[in-house]
Amino acid sequence: MAASPRRQWTGRYQWRNGGRSSPACAAARHKWSPTAPSSPRARPTRSRVLYVQMIGRGTRTFPNKRDCLIVDLVGATERFDLLTLPRLFGLGDAKALEGRTVVEALERQRGAVAAAPSAPLVAEEVDLFREREKLRWITVGERWALTTGRGLLVVEPYAGAWRVIVHERDTGQRHVLGQALDLGYAHGVAEDFIRRLGAAHLVDSNARWRSQAISDKQRALLARLGVDHDPELSRGEASDLISAALAERELLNR
């Protein structure tokens, strides 16, 4: 009888892993088997931080370990990618390092560039925070903020790094979600939190409600906040003005 697709895949995986299938279970529990030459990814995630962490379980180096097969079962690789060593140094794909050190590959690349005919230098402006455009971040001084509907989620500088704080408007309480982070990591922590909170639709730049006409409640709140506004504002534009006014009042006055 022919083997089922599942048995065929299991057989391939066990062959790849020297006849052992235990690393699949170990990886699922977020443990690390340093000798595992393959790593199936069956956990869906929207977090780039978690994705890199899971991939890192298998890609860490170990004596006599030359590669690692990543089996993506949930399509996470379509959402995220990884920064490899060749790409980090502008060398393209992994073929640039075949049998060479990074220094040797860089020298080889420079030699190829020097031998090539001269070409005009082209520069373009790159928005380093283009991924942040997916959510409606508010900037107040050096702080970044997202409204949660019940308060603010703030990324702010702290002790030479960044931290993430939840401000509860009704109780006045503040909770630290993370600190000693770089800015990109801090934004990721904040965005993961607001999605788990179920409030991502409030700060989604592409939400349908943003194109609707401004509501009477929004007009009244803008008036109470003393915010001048165009009477033909959309609901999304009004929400941005309200969030910015509340964020400035809460963050600058404390």
The tens digit of pLDDT for each residue in 87-116 reads 777 777 767 777 778 788 888 777 776 665
pLDDT of amino acid 220: 92
**Residues 97 and 187 occupy one common structural domain:** no
Higher-scoring residue by pLDDT: 240, 33: 240
49-92 residue pLDDT tens: 787 777 777 777 778 877 777 787 777 777 776 666 777 777 77
Phi-psi region of 235 (alpha: psi -120 to 50; beta: other; left: phi over 0): alpha
Would residue 121 count as lying in a domain?
A: no
**Residues 100 and 72 occupy one common structural domain:** no
Would residue 178 count as lying in a domain?
A: yes
pLDDT of amino acid 124: 82
Would residue 210 count as lying in a domain?
A: yes
**Residues 73 and 155 occupy one common structural domain:** no
Cα torsion angle, 61, 64, 65, 67, sign: positive
**Residues 67 and 110 occupy one common structural domain:** no
Would residue 124 count as lying in a domain?
A: no
Of 107-111, 117-121, 133-137, 215-219, the least confident? 117-121
Contact between residue 164 and residue 193 where contact means Cβ atoms under 8 Å apart: yes
**Residues 109 and 39 occupy one common structural domain:** no
Would residue 122 count as lying in a domain?
A: no
**Residues 210 and 195 occupy one common structural domain:** yes
Would residue 131 count as lying in a domain?
A: no
Would residue 127 count as lying in a domain?
A: no
pLDDT of amino acid 116: 58
Residues listed for the chain: 254
**Residues 26 and 62 occupy one common structural domain:** yes
**Residues 37 and 95 occupy one common structural domain:** no
**Residues 26 and 105 occupy one common structural domain:** no
Residue type, 90: G
The H-assigned helical ranges of 94-182 are 102-115
C-alpha to C-alpha distance for 184 and 173, rounded to whole angstroms: 25
Q: Please count the structural domains in the chain.
A: 3
**Residues 95 and 172 occupy one common structural domain:** no
Final residue before a domain boundary, out of 58, 78, 98: 78
Would residue 36 count as lying in a domain?
A: yes
Q: What value does the mean pLDDT of the chain take?
A: 77
Domain that holds residue 104: 85-115
Region 129-140 average pLDDT: 72
What percent of the chain is modeled with pLDDT above 70?
Answer: 73
C-alpha to C-alpha distance for 213 and 237, rounded to whole angstroms: 10
pLDDT of amino acid 12: 47
**Residues 73 and 102 occupy one common structural domain:** no
**Residues 61 and 89 occupy one common structural domain:** no
